[in-house]
Amino acid sequence: MVRTLPALVLTGGLLTALTACAGVSEAPVYGGADPVGMGGDLYGFLVTMKGARDEAGIEAYVTCVVAGYTLEKNAGFARRVTTNVKEEGGVWIADAVYSISPTLPRGVKTIDAEVTVSDCAERGIPTV
């Protein structure tokens, strides 16, 4: 007599193996986002995130945080001055400086806060 494993056990094991092979990672966990006024129109942001696939994930999160904070300050636009990103033990950290203003600033790395907050909501990324 041949014994067989229940189909559910086999399927579960197969799915687990396929998931591991595909490199599917855990869902992102968005951590702290601490804005700090630096004087004038400059603001610093220290943002943490776990489960980012790469630098682009934490950079998207910091952009969303900045956009949300910009709207809270009754301004419509932000411009990235600098962003430093590092990863420590699976936690991504972005230390960024942005200028926030009511009018579109000069530069190529500008954010329209309303448009960006809407995009962040569609992508499931928190803004503040």
Q: How confident is the model at residue 7 (pLDDT cuts 50, 70, 90)?
A: very low
Contacts of 45 (CB under 8 A, 6+ apart): 33, 34, 35, 36, 62, 65, 66, 69, 94, 95, 96, 97, 98
Q: Is the pLDDT of residue 9 over 60?
A: no
| Domain positions in the chain | 29-123
The topology (CATH level 3) of 29-123 is Alpha-Beta Plaits (3.30.70)
Q: Which of 88, 110, 90, 92 is nearest to 101 (CA)?
A: 110
Q: For residue 25, what pLDDT is reported?
A: 57
Q: Record the tokens describing residue 22, joined without a space.
A: 């595909």
pLDDT in tens, 56-113: 999 999 999 999 999 999 999 999 999 999 999 999 999 999 999 999 888 888 999 9
